[in-house]
């Protein structure tokens, strides 16, 4: 029997980027807010101290900041005719564990999605005709526009102190920025990052080939910056220990470096760590949430009553909680009916590695950061004519050296010896003279890719594991091959002696790391028959439940998701403050 606790106005599940933003906004509204976090407390000064922050064995090899399979895992398969098996080690993607979530160990690349992304099905239908969209492709519009998102993108960018160069200011194109981006009201809060030799060479070569390169928008700071909440962050030092690491220098934006120093001081906010939410509790009608049930490290269960429940955990956990709590109708792949679990997507992470003459090229591979570098956008989204190509979608192409760590980075060109003195020489010669160019590409929803509860396997608390059914659709495989070939042309023109192309191919495997950009499962939209939440991220079925995260994406763009997730958090918080609290109930009529 769960012990019932005193009521709160709001209970938030998970305290990463979204949970911190929404908690801070609602506390400012005067609400009594409690956040329940499954993992431990994490703070820059104590957890990412400069003395051990650049510890590759601890953070990259042993993945200290990541979720452990013993806590919970998923089962995976490529299609509905297979038996899903548990992931015994997180490989393909790395969910975060603890306060800050995956926003602690992220790279910091901070895009806005394009205007066409938010009305994707309408866009392709208008440009190429309905027949251009494969029958099994279930892409859909988001139920809002880029113009509605723009002010919330702006708020997140100024919170994080994003470093970049605008390409479109109020409809006026700007030299040096992304010419394909949607119009923005003002410049980035900070100028672009400085560029090392590799990205500079990439940009110069791409420009000669007719592309328009621009600096990657980065939540690594190019200078000291104080955000609108009054939190000051420092300039990035290009230490090379960034992706998979916390930032000891307070230079990478995260909940820890932007929001928590303010939020944790508020008397109407409470955080409980090491508390795992089991389910959202519903009343007898099933149409109203009464709070949540959670368990702490003692193993005892607690019931936390609340007027408003907001799911801000990792996207897979948000979907799983909806399913475990009976909120919405689970998706059935056979009939195509139901919405919870539908439109699960990944990201097509493609890469070309160039090996250059070590006598002429020194890229100083150990210098870098998760979001430093130069990019082009001509191969992204619908920025090129797809009519004769037989596929839709594309990706952002960039040269972004993150830092070649001493344990894991052992580059050797094809044909090199695999052991002994020959291998050592090849690795030594290649370490400073290899460079990769990646294309983070779209992942479009497919009828056969979905999430549901596993009928066989359970977690340590006896709850069904999340089951992932996913494989790369034919459309995305064709797109991956095309963009990778185009990227290889640039790397070859840069002067590489040897090129290794790594397009994404089937079948999807859970073993190698590819991207933590998993999305979908509780898609947002204006139509309840194809979406789980409305355009304000409010459940169609239980109006006092909101869910915020990449799980609301109807499909994935050719951009990293965090900027859009942060903007959606601000938009949902604004809707709660300005509309829901005045008149609790549905913000949009079904």
Are the CB atoms for 156 and 570 separated by under 8 Å? yes
Are the CB atoms for 75 and 87 separated by under 8 Å? yes
Phi, psi of 555 (to 5 degrees): -165, 175
For residues 275 and 2, what is the distance between their CA atoms, to the nearest angstrom?
A: 14
Nearest alpha-carbon partner for 277 in 553, 551, 547, 85: 547
Nearest alpha-carbon partner for 343 in 441, 467, 450, 468: 450
Are the CB atoms for 355 and 496 separated by under 8 Å? yes
Question: What residues contact 336, with CB distance under 8 A and at least 6 apart?
Answer: 447
Are the CB atoms for 361 and 497 separated by under 8 Å? no
- Three-state SS for 426-470 is HHHHHHCCEEEEEEEECECCECCCEEEEEEEEECCCCCEEEEEEC
Cα–Cα distance list, 328 to 170, 321, 325, 341, 374 (Å): 40, 11, 9, 10, 42
Residue 169: count of CB within 10 angstroms of its CB: 14
The two beta strands, 269-272 and 450-458, are unpaired
For residues 297 and 300, what is the distance between their CA atoms, to the nearest angstrom?
A: 8
517 is catalytic: yes
Question: What residues contact 498, with CB distance under 8 A and at least 6 apart?
Answer: 354, 355, 413, 414
Cα–Cα distance list, 206 to 209, 351, 497, 589 (Å): 5, 16, 18, 49
For residues 568 and 565, what is the distance between their CA atoms, to the nearest angstrom?
A: 5
Nearest alpha-carbon partner for 448 in 170, 138, 159: 138
Q: Where does 252-390 show beta strands of DSSP type E?
A: 269-272, 276-282, 289-295, 301-311, 342-345, 348-355, 374-376
Nearest alpha-carbon partner for 353 in 492, 508, 160: 492
For residues 247 and 239, what is the distance between their CA atoms, to the nearest angstrom?
A: 10
For residues 365 and 109, what is the distance between their CA atoms, to the nearest angstrom?
A: 19
Q: Report, as residue numbers or ranges, the catalytic residues.
A: 517
């Amino acid at each position: 029997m769960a012990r019932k606790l005193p009521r709160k106005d709001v209970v938030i599940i998970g305290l990463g980027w979204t949970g911190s933003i929404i908690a801070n906004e609602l506390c400012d509204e005067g609400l009594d807010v409690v956040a329940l976090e499954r993992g431990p407390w994490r703070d820059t000064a104590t957890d990412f101290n400069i003395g051990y922050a650049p510890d590759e064995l601890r953070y990259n090899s042993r993945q200290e900041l990541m979720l452990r399979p013993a806590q919970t895992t998923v089962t995976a398969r490529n299609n509905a005719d297979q038996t899903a098996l548990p992931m015994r080690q997180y490989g393909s993607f790395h969910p975060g564990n603890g306060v800050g979530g995956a926003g602690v160990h992220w790279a910091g690349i901070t895009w806005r999605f394009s205007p066409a992304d938010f009305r994707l099905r309408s866009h392709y239908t208008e440009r190429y005709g309905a027949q251009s969209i494969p029958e099994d492709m279930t892409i859909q519009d988001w139920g809002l526009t880029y113009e509605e998102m723009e002010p919330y993108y702006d708020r997140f960018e100024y919170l994080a102190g994003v470093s970049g160069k605008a390409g479109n200011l109020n409809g006026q194109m700007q030299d040096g920025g992304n010419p394909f981006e949607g119009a923005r009201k003002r410049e980035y809060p900070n100028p672009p990052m400085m560029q090392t030799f590799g990205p500079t060479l990439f940009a110069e070569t791409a420009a000669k080939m007719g592309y328009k390169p621009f600096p990657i928008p980065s939540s690594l700071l190019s200078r000291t910056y104080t955000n609108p909440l009054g939190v000051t962050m420092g300039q990035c030092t290009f230490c090379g220990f960034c992706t998979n690491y916390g930032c000891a220098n307070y230079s990478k934006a995260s909940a820890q470096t932007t929001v928590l120093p303010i939020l944790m001081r508020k008397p109407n906010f409470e955080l409980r760590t090491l508390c795992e939410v089991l389910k959202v509790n519903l009343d007898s009608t099933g149409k109203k949430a009464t709070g949540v049930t959670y368990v702490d490290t003692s193993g005892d269960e607690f019931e936390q009553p609340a007027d408003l429940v907001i799911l801000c955990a990792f996207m897979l956990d948000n979907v799983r909680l909806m399913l475990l709590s009976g909120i919405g109708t689970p998706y059935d792949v056979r009939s195509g009916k139901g919405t919870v679990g539908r439109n699960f997507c990944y990201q097509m992470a493609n890469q070309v590695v160039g090996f250059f003459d070590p006598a002429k090229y020194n890229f100083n591979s150990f210098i870098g950061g998760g979001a430093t570098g130069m990019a082009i956008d001509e191969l992204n989204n619908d920025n090129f004519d797809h009519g004769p190509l037989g596929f839709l979608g594309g990706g952002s192409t960039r040269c972004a050296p993150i830092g070649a760590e001493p344990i894991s980075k052992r580059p050797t060109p094809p044909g090199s010896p695999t052991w002994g003195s020959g291998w050592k020489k090849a690795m030594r010669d290649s370490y400073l003279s290899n460079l990769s160019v990646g294309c983070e590409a779209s992942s479009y929803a497919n009828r056969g890719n979905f999430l549901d509860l596993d009928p066989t396997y359970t977690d340590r608390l006896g709850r069904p594991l999340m089951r992932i059914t996913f494989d790369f659709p034919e459309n995305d495989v064709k797109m991956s091959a095309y963009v990778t070939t185009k990227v290889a042309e640039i790397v070859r023109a840069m002067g590489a002696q040897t090129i290794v192309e790594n397009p994404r191919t089937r079948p999807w495997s859970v073993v190698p790391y590819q991207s933590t950009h998993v999305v979908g499962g509780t898609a947002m939209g204006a139509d309840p028959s194809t979406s789980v939440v409305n355009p304000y991220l409010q459940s169609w079925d239980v109006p006092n439940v909101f869910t915020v995260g990449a799980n609301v994406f109807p499909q994935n763009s050719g951009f990293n998701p965090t900027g859009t997730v942060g903007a959606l958090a601000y938009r949902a918080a604004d809707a709660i403050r300005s509309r829901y609290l005045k008149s609790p109930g549905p913000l949009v009529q079904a």
